[in-house]
Each structure stands twice: as structure tokens, then as C-alpha cells.
Chains A and B, each alone.
Chain A
Amino acid sequence: MSTLAEDTQLGEWHAEFEAAAGRSLRTRFRYAFLYTYKPVLDDAQYRSFDTTAAYREWCARNLPSWLGYGPAV
């Protein structure tokens, strides 16, 4: 059973989805892609990993935790 707060949140999200559905793909793109510098992650021109697990491990070890790339506990 959902709470009033959850229902309110869902209603707000649906309003956002409806508004987005009324915009063209080109317009959605214009406002969806932003550039924000991410320390460490953005400091190399090229990185590659043999496995996705190796990439996840590299992120967890090397990136600041506040970027959110580490595992959720």
C-alpha cells in the first residue's frame, strides 16, 4: 500500500513524463546533456577494461565516493 508521499511523488513524476512526451526529441536532447567536470574520471582521454567487473572495481577504488560510481551498500 503506497503512502500519500509516494503517491504525490509519483504524480509529480508523471507530470514530468507527460511534459517531456510533448517535446520533440531534438528539444529533449538540448536540455538533457550537460557537461560537468568529474574529477579523475575526466582526467584521461582513453581508458579500457578487459571486463566490466574490472571497470567497476577501478571506479570504486579511484573515484571520489560522492560521484556515486561505487557500489551501493
Chain B
Amino acid sequence: MARRFEYAQAEEIRDVFTRHGVRYLFIGKSGAILLGYPDTTQDADLFVEKTNTNNAATVGALRELGFELTDDQAAEIERGKDFVQLKNGPFDLDLVFAPDGIEEFEQAWRRRVDVEGFPVCHPDDIIRSKEAAGRVKDREALPRLRAFRDYWLERNG
């Protein structure tokens, strides 16, 4: 049974990932919520840089957070996957190593927004990834998300 994702758990991700040197960004609706977008979601989505070093650091950080990865699962994350869905830990987490619509992690990293120490994708990147994913739920969310992007840019641009 999954548990509701809470602020303290986001802090744990931030602190543990930082300690392990993991390069990542909050993306998707959880990223938008960090930026101030008022909406609901179920889990956190992290855009993780896909390099051998970062993959290995991610496995170490996940295990410290309490995710019960088997050796086979750890090995495949270390080898490199594009998408990993985790429900074997203290909260649900999606690791996205190659989000639709964003070519390179480095580009998104340069545009990132720091929210109280949380590294978050720029709203343009969050929108770009949802546009490219093209799912029904993304298409439904995009008009309000674009309105939030415009509002956010007026305040922070």
C-alpha cells in the first residue's frame, strides 16, 4: 500500500541525493507543485541524469532512502534505463532518465529553478515534456499549466 508523499520525504530525497552526489531535477506535476502550481498528484517524478556515475549514485541513494532494490534491479538501474517506477520503498517514485521533449539533462539543468533547495525543472521544460508525451491526461492539464507558466514568469521572470 503506497503512502502519501509528504514534504519531509521530499526533504529526504533532497538531502540523501545531495549526499550521494546525484544529479536530478523534480519534473512533471510534482515539479510544478514545487514551483507553486496548485494541483494534486500521487507521486514524485525525478529527472535523473543518465551517466554511469550518476546511475550508481542513484542506486546508493535509493537504498539509503529505504527502497528495497534487489541486486538485479540495482544492476539494471546502474546499466541505464530510461524509466523506472518504484513502489518498493517509503513512497512511490518515478525515475525518468529520458523525458519526452527534453534532449539533454544538461540543458534542463542549466534552466533549473531552485525552490528552497529543491532542484526543479523550469516550467517551460515541464510543459515541453508534457506536450511531447501527448497523453490524454497531459493534454487535459496543459491549458492550466501554461496559464501557470505565464503567471510564474510574470512573478519570477
Contact = CB atoms under 8 A, between A and B. Distances in A.
Interface of A: 10, 13-14, 16-17, 19-21, 25-26, 28-36, 38, 41-42, 44-52, 54-56, 59, 65, 67-72
7 contacts: A14-B147, A28-B33, A29-B7, A33-B42, A50-B82, A72-B136, A72-B139
A49 B82 CA distance: 6
A42 B83 CA distance: 15
B42 A13 contact: no
A30 B7 contact: yes
Nearest to B99: A52
Given A25-B116, A32-B39, A17 B7 contact: no
Contacts, number: 128
B38 interface: yes
Contacts of A35: 2-4, 42
Interface string B84-121: 11111000000010111000000000000001100000
Given A25-B7, A68-B136, A72-B135, A45 B87 contact: yes
Nearest to B38: A20
A52 B136 contact: no
B21 interface: no
Contacts of B5: 29, 33
B36 interface: yes
Contact of A45 (B10, B88, B151, B152): B88
B38 A46 contact: no
